[in-house]
Amino acid sequence: MGLFSDSNDEDEKLEEENETLPHQVTRMQVSQKVEHANDWIRRVNREGWDLYLFPDEPSLEQVRKQDGELKRLYDKISERRPTDKEERAKVLHARQAVRELMEVYAVYDSITEPVDPEVNDSSDNDGGVSNAV
């Protein structure tokens, strides 16, 4: 009996590790994307703007807010200084980095949402052979 309980414990540990793998991968991707976005935001701030930097693990709402701020900033620069391509490019790069961070959140949400059992219904409605051997 002791032999079987050890293997069950190992199986449970393996299942726990597999369950957290998407979380681990997402945390790593978020960390990289946050670092990249903050780098571009620092470059934009050197131009005299005051955008906040992301914390280590920003919420999706914080990311959306920053995207909106960068859009407004780009529009403002385009109106006031349409020939300042370098500053607009920095804002565009910062916004692209923020959008990439939002994509990580979207992919993670699509992976972790429960599957609808009706979608995986394996009934054969096309009249094909259901159990060919």
pLDDT tens digits, residue range 54-98?
Answer: 998 899 899 999 999 999 999 999 999 888 899 999 999 999 999
In a domain, residue 84? The reply is yes
Q: How do residues 4-23 score in pLDDT, each as one tens digit?
A: 445 556 665 655 555 577 77
- Which of 6-15, 28-37, 100-109 is most confident? 28-37
First-to-final CA distance of the chain? 40
In a domain, residue 122? The reply is no
Q: Can you read off the two tokens belonging to residue 34?
A: 């946050």
**Looking at the 3D structure of the chain, how many domains does it have?**
1
Q: In the prediction, which pLDDT does 117 show?
A: 56
Q: Which of 40, 35, 39, 22 is nearest to 105 (CA)?
A: 22
In a domain, residue 5? The reply is no
In a domain, residue 116? The reply is no
In a domain, residue 119? The reply is no
Q: Can you read off the two tokens belonging to residue 62?
A: 């914080």
What is the domain extent for residue 42? 11-110
Phi, psi of 98 (to 5 degrees): -70, -40
